[in-house]
Amino acid sequence: MWTSLSPRELQDHIEKGTAYIGTLMKEGKLKSAAPLDKGSRIVTDDGGVMKDGPFNETKEVIAGYFHITARDLQEAVDIAKANPIFKDIHTRIEVHMMKAIPG
């Protein structure tokens, strides 16, 4: 958890993350990245009625995303494994392939 890091550990974490992102940009692998705001919603279709929320009950938080370019799923996994967040915080990264839609 971010709050468990000391100010020095947090600064070190930010510096490692900045270097990681810089490397991905230099290699042309990072297309975009951004933190997510708290204003998210889950939209479901429940018996023909669209409902906004409620949120799934979870202790996990989706903090942001990286949109990268990779040859295949394995390269994407390798890129995710190199993220320095694993050294500082107990976390999980999900890797999803994006389906190309012509046009």
The fourth-level CATH superfamily of domain 2-88 is Dimeric alpha+beta barrel (3.30.70.1060)
- Please indicate, yes or no, whether the overall pTM of this predicted structure exceeds 0.75: no
Distance CA 35, CA 41 (A): 16
Smallest CA-to-CA distance from 80 within 61, 60, 64 is with: 64
pLDDT computed for residue 62 by the predictor: 73
Question: Taking a C-beta distance cutoff of 8 angstroms, is the pair 9, 89 a contact?
Answer: no
Domain boundaries in the chain? 2-88
Give 95's pLDDT tier (boundaries 50, 70, 90).
very high
Type of residue at 10: L
